[in-house]
Chains A and B, each alone.
Chain A
Amino acid sequence: MEKYRIDASKGLEFGLYTLGDHLPNPSTGERIPAGQRLEEIIELAKLADDVGIDFFSVGESHQEYFTTQAHSVVLSAIAQATENIKIASSSTIISTLDPVRVYEDFATIDLISKGRAEIIAGRASRVGNFDLLGYDLHDYEELYEEKFDLLLKINQEEYVNWEGQYRAPLRDAHILPRPLNGSLPIWRAVGGHPSSAVKAGYAGVPIFLATLGGPVSIFKRTIDSYRDALRQAGHDPAQFPVATAGFFYLAETTQQAQREMYPSVNEGMQKTNGRGYPKQHFAQGADKRDVMNVGSPQEVIEKILYQHEMYGHQRYIAQMDFGGVPFDKLRKNIELIGKEVLPAIRKYTKK
């Protein structure tokens, strides 16, 4: 776990992530300028740092309604603006980037932030980045696997010899700068389906699992499959952290939280994914057995603890800014997290 900078004795880590979406506020239909959205993301990271949240990450999406395409640049600004919080990508779409360049960027962010940077490498659910950056969508799987492997190799070896299909060969290539403590935590982004988690298990890398909605028990199967695969490949699951990520929103009552969050989730998903979030499913999200952490602080604390009991995971990452949620609501959420959620989950999960 030390390799991934996780100290399990302190209990479950709590983080925030943003996809960097740039969507209208559903109650006004208005969208803030891109510059303001970027400032607010950086401000959100600062506020999170101030109240002691463990982690903050920013995603990369190359399409309409997003504004953090250059996510490593945004992370660099966050590195400068914060003191203690860990910072990462969620995710870096490694398939259509050059792993050498990604490593240079994140090692630099690690130095600027004094050892706080991590990489979560994913494959993208929307695929506009392939045409835009000059890659063939037919290579979707292989591009990811090959480039992810190269990224891991660069993390382990300062001088790299490598040959592959999708990038020019590297001959005694000296990859600089090196991160503050020799290596970066690199995670594999995994969707709900177990097959990708199993690949991560065989490869011996930690997973960052997206869990937007549905029963906790379904995602537990994916995590169990991951740990089984780790064991089969001769790794010790106790050495590999698991992070889960999903929708989060706090208000005084669960009803109020649902009322404030539903339009953002529904209209945001309609615009970015082409399908809204069915109300019936969102209503079930309030159940303790569902992964969606939308509700009153007390109910959400209980849900996070229930998830921790089921998953035995090391980090939970909350997405609460999706779909044009106004900044004053985000600020209020951060206050509640700092005052109520963090002390409770730390108290009950520390060892």
Chain B
Amino acid sequence: MKVVAIAGSIVGSKTKTATSYAVKTLEDKYPDLEVTMLDLAEYDIQFSDGRNYLDYQGDTKKVTETIMAADAIIIGSPIFQASIPGTLKNVFDLLPVDALQHKVVSMIITAGSQKHYLIPEQQLKPILGYMKAQIVQSYVFIEDIEFYRQEITNDDVLFRIERLVEDTVTLTGTYQEIREREEAKYDF
């Protein structure tokens, strides 16, 4: 099983801190999984111009190919101007239609205000649904007061991330089993 964690912003550290904790949990609890962290701040990604993702070069090609090869994706995202950041939206725009089909996708959201709690529900989930992801319905929502110098200070947040990671792995395994069983019925 290949899991990719995306820190979806090139600004600040909170989303990266929270996403890194999810990666650490994955590595501690499931040492057999192949886990890749994509911190978008470390890549130079061009804007989508509509071409097939295989036709990009460099970091853009690397990031899109890594995502396309994943079985599960944990998306970390801050909320900017009442939506997801453009850097993350660009990653979706770079991918083909139905790119997330047969992939389980879960979300870790950081935000400066509780007022943003429903933004992932109303803005991120519709994108994931359109791209045919199997969505882990509950997400982890973290306010910025839960961070102190690149550490999460609230144990409840840590527990919630751990449960999200477990749910992501469990649902991915379950989904793969169901899919294999159903596809075996086709006999081709």
Q: Which residues of A contact B (CB under 8 A)?
A: 63, 125-128, 137-138, 140, 255, 258-259, 262, 273-275, 278-280, 282-283
Contact = CB atoms under 8 A, between A and B. Distances in A.
Q: Is the interface of A mostly helix, strand, loop or mixed?
A: helix
B148 interface: no
A275 B183 CA distance: 17
A279 B183 CA distance: 7
24 contacts: A126-B51, A126-B55, A127-B51, A127-B52, A127-B55, A138-B49, A255-B188, A258-B186, A258-B188, A259-B187, A262-B188, A273-B52, A273-B54, A273-B96, A274-B53, A274-B96, A275-B68, A275-B99, A278-B101, A278-B102, A279-B188, A282-B188, A283-B186, A283-B188
B55 A259 contact: no
Interface in B42-81: 49-55, 68
A325 B99 CA distance: 26
A279 to B, nearest CB: 5
B177 interface: no
A255 B185 CA distance: 12
B98 interface: yes
Contacts of A259: 187-188
Given A275-B96, A275-B99, A279-B183, A125 B52 contact: yes
A23 B55 CA distance: 18
Contacts of A283: 186, 188
B179 to A, nearest CB: 9
Nearest to A260: B188
A273 B99 CA distance: 12
Contacts of B187: 255, 259
Contacts of B102: 278
A102 to B, nearest CB: 23
A255 B188 CA distance: 7
